[in-house]
Structure 1
Amino acid sequence: MRAAGVTEFGGPEALHIVDVEPEPLGPGEVRLRVQAAAVSPTDTHARSGAYAGRDPVKTPPWVPGMDVAGVVTELGEGVGHLAVGDLAMGIVVPFGPYGAYREDKVLPGDSVVRAPAGATVVEASTLPMNGLTARLSLDLMGLRPGEVLAVTGAAGAYGGYVVQLAKAGGFTVVADASEADEELVRGLGADVVVRRGDDVAERIREHVPEGVHGLADGSVQDEVVLAAVRDGGAVATVRGYRGNGERGLRFFPTMVRKVATDRAALDRLRQQAEEGALTLRVARTFPAEQAAEAHRVLEAGGVRGRLVLTF
């Protein structure tokens, strides 16, 4: 069975087609014939070996990827929310050869739901990981409708979903953007858009002098942007940053693996995509054989929407 993976960690050129064994199907599990797997920064870190120390599999190949979409081909005992032949999407917790970049994938049933009606398989693959991460960030911060949320990296996949989910939840959103991305971020629903950069906290305070109630730091600015948040406010981070102890700020590192089997949350994202509250943004597709090029493009920066490998 084909997969895109590495036998030695390294740069994008380390990715190539490898042969992997089929996964057995157990009770409560779902088998997908994978047709699309979205590419994320987490995948590039995995490819380079950043997570090798915590991977229980110590021998190659290693296959990255956290998002899949495809056709259900087999159901384990006890799975009743899907049927063989359904177009479905799922979130993958990758390890060893069991990431998303493979043409056949077995997942816990609670990590898979039907794809949004009307969405292509490529579009569906862009939702699970970033959508669940955005949802978890908002849930952890616990803001109330009417409160003000700042979002950095708002033009990115995670940031864009945070903006849209926050607006659906009744929050006021202040987001950052480059000049080129301002129209995009406004289109996602941001109430106020400020120019991105090292002084973004100051720019946010110009619009919210008392400071925002919460911050979703999608661009990983960490302490640079904390001044935008009022004393005691909430901060969701995406690379494990736990703060510097200042002003009673509450920090919530957002680890999507913790909600990888939250089927209700994933299915609600499906519904919101169907309702038009969430926009599934595809930047470009690559055949799986060109996974290395997809990683090169992502690491070069400036991608708006998701890059997707197709099988």
Structure 2
Amino acid sequence: MRVVEVTAYGGPEVLRSARRPEPDPADAPGRVRVRLKAAAVNQADLKIRSGRFAAALGALAPPFVLGYDFAGTLVDPAPGLAAGTRVAGFVPWVADGSGVGTYAETILAEPAWLAPVPDEVDFTAAASLPLSAVTAAQALDLLELPAGSTLLVTGASGVVGRFAVQLAARAGHRVIALGDADDVHELRLLGAHGVVGRGSPDEVITGVLGFAPERVDGVFDAALIAEPLLPVVKDGGVFVSASAERVPVAERDVRVDVVEGRPDAARLKELLELLGAGALATRVADVIPLEQAAEAHRRAEAGHRPGRIVLMI
């Protein structure tokens, strides 16, 4: 089967097309084959390829196959899912430790990773959603804010932050979004009560306090700003970071936590159904053939177009 491998740590040029044997379910009892139609390029892919996560990968080293998000067709039946079902999910790439991700024609997946894709959702849109939307939902779970709370979402123009704005608004929160100035109108349509443009920490704090003079009950920091944002959080509030790479030191009884997206088939099924019903919006920046994964990484690093880049397989 066709795959794209990371041949060594480095820039996008280290991504090369290769061929590997089709995976055999007998080699991983309990897993099932999924014939992929689309796979998304995540920021974690870029960090792994560059070597930034090398220490966390232990003995695992190139060549390996990147990729978290996927959408495709189930080859083998799984509990509650017949062969031929259109499914989506994400591989917990680092935790799985196999070095076999979704830049491939076929993968072996745990049934707990899989959710059915509604007929109204195409493979491209389905592949753009799993890790980011589930992470946003799990961040809201960690915040544990009652309905009506004021929540600041940073990185609201990014993929995870954009989902967080929508899900927080659906949960009844008063959302302040920190994002690009060009996205003010769209973020308001997605549910933000107020939008603050990116700027220096002092400018951001002033902007947030303009919408919430009493300060906010919680922050979901998808932009990884960390400590400079603590002044906008109420005493005893909550601060959830999207990565352990940037976590502020707690003060004033502010609870600090980190969300790490974990596969959750039931939650993903709900999110895909919202997408199919038009109650949740995703954004695809580009659709690029699998063989051009290096170009996809270049575009993702350049960041010229917001949204998820999807590889067609």
- Normalized against structure 1, the TM-score is what? 0.93
2:191 partner letter: G
Which stretch of the first structure deviates more once superposed, 48-57 or 217-226? 48-57
Question: Corresponding residue for 1:6?
Answer: 6
1:184 and 1:302 mapped to 2: Cα distance? 18
User: Does the 8 A contact of 2:54 with 2:61 survive in 1?
Assistant: no
Which stretch of the first structure deviates more once superposed, 114-123 or 89-98? 89-98
The gaps in structure 1 that reach 5 residues or longer are: none
Q: Does 1:253 align with 2:252?
A: no
After the TM superposition, which residues 135-284 of structure 1 pair with which residues of structure 2 at under 5 Å, given as runs?
135-198=137-200, 199-240=203-244, 241-256=246-261, 259-260=262-263, 262-284=264-286
Relative to structure 1, is the Cα distance of residues 43 and 59 closer, same or farther in structure 2, using a 3 angstrom cutoff?
A: closer
Question: Corresponding residue for 2:116?
Answer: 114
1:222 partner letter: A
1:112 and 1:67 mapped to 2: Cα distance? 11
1:280 partner letter: T
Relative to structure 1, is the Cα distance of residues 303 and 57 closer, same or farther in structure 2, using a 3 angstrom cutoff?
A: farther
User: Does the 8 A contact of 2:180 with 2:198 survive in 1?
Assistant: yes
Relative to structure 1, is the Cα distance of residues 233 and 47 closer, same or farther in structure 2, using a 3 angstrom cutoff?
A: same
Question: Corresponding residue for 2:16?
Answer: 16
1:216 and 1:245 mapped to 2: Cα distance? 14
Shift of 1:287: 0.4
1:289 and 1:44 mapped to 2: Cα distance? 16
1:151 and 1:16 mapped to 2: Cα distance? 37
SS at match of 1:246: coil
1:226 and 1:275 mapped to 2: Cα distance? 37
Q: Does 1:296 align with 2:301?
A: no
Shift of 1:102: 1.0
User: Does the 8 A contact of 1:4 with 1:101 survive in 2?
Assistant: yes
1:162 and 1:59 mapped to 2: Cα distance? 33
Deviations 1:174-212 (A, max 9, x none): 102222121221222111111222221221011101111
Relative to structure 1, is the Cα distance of residues 245 and 282 closer, same or farther in structure 2, using a 3 angstrom cutoff?
A: same
Identity of aligned residues (%): 37
Q: Does 1:61 align with 2:60?
A: no
Runs of 4+ with >4 A deviation? none
Shift of 1:57: 5.0
The gaps in structure 2 that reach 5 residues or longer are: none
SS at match of 1:247: coil
Shift of 1:73: 1.1
Shift of 1:126: 0.8
Number of aligned residues: 305
2:239 partner letter: V
